Amino acid sequence: MKRLLILGGTGDAVKLASQAMSLPGLEVITTLAGRTREPKAVAGAVRIGGFGGEAGLVEYLQTENIDLLIDATHPFAAQISGNAAGAATKVGIPRLMLIRPGWERLPSDNWIEVESIEGAVTAIPATAERIFLTIGRQQLAPFALLTDRWCLIRSIDPPDSSIPLPPGKLLLDRGPFSLEQECQLLRDYQIQAIVSKNSGGDATYAKIIAARELGLPVIMVQRSIVPDGDRVRDVLGAMKWLEERVTIIW
């Protein structure tokens, strides 16, 4: 059996693991960082937890005799992707990045594009007093400076108790969300601006459409530059890459 390690963290990783299991002679292992308390079920073997940086990943790849590596982490998991690139090079195994396309700005969108979470804090319009934060739970601390604003924070899991939060409400929920749901949410809480990462995908795109229809500004955090290497946009592309590599290996 040849061994594939999928660095997970997205719905695409879950789909890929399920489809890769159909390839003969291939054992599939998916690793999850463990940040989501109730992750979606994943086909094949699952490993929970980090590796301890690039050196730890190198050791794991060698110890577990991994033959192929697919990085299907979140588009904003830049450090993990960098570690994967370095580790795969050192071990000498093929590596692929599965990167879903980012959302594209339409003429009717009112986006304020920023390069970082810290930039998003300062880019919020002064007239926006009620903010919808949809950036996950890991990077909320900078928004604690917004003591004169009210923030609706949506996250799958609650943030760590040590993380300072701005005034407002915490809403625990998991997508996908419909356009009707998102429009109603924005109206109910009288939201005047949205802060989002350009994560791409369909699960949470409805909030972007809702902002467009309601004429709300979106402070959009852009993605970091990804490492060089093979990359595809979807699970179909990843499966084609994988099928070719498995054939070469055999």
What CATH code is assigned to 2-100+225-249?
Answer: 3.40.50.720
pLDDT tens series, the chain, 250 aa: 899 999 997 889 999 999 999 999 899 999 987 555 556 678 788 998 889 999 999 999 999 999 999 999 988 888 899 999 999 999 999 999 999 999 999 999 999 999 999 999 999 999 999 999 999 888 999 999 999 999 999 998 899 889 999 999 999 998 889 999 999 999 999 999 999 999 998 889 999 999 999 999 999 999 988 889 999 999 999 999 999 988 754 4
User: How far is the C-alpha of 223 from the C-alpha of 115, rounded, in Å?
Assistant: 7
CATH 3.40.50.720 placement within the chain: 2-100+225-249, 111-221
User: How far is the C-alpha of 123 from the C-alpha of 109, rounded, in Å?
Assistant: 16
Class of 111-221 per CATH?
A: alpha beta
User: How far is the C-alpha of 179 from the C-alpha of 186, rounded, in Å?
Assistant: 11
Residues 6+ apart with CB under 8 A from 152: 130, 131, 132, 133, 168, 169, 171, 185, 189, 191
In this structure, the dihedral spanned by the alpha carbons of residues 160, 52, 49 and 157, taken in order and rounded to 10 degrees, is 20
User: How far is the C-alpha of 134 from the C-alpha of 172, rounded, in Å?
Assistant: 11
Q: 112, 134 in Cβ contact below 8 A?
A: no
User: How far is the C-alpha of 247 from the C-alpha of 77, rounded, in Å?
Assistant: 30
User: How far is the C-alpha of 126 from the C-alpha of 119, rounded, in Å?
Assistant: 14
Q: For residue 11, which phi and psi values (nearest 5 degrees)?
A: -65, -30
Q: Which two tokens stand for residue 153?
A: 């924070």
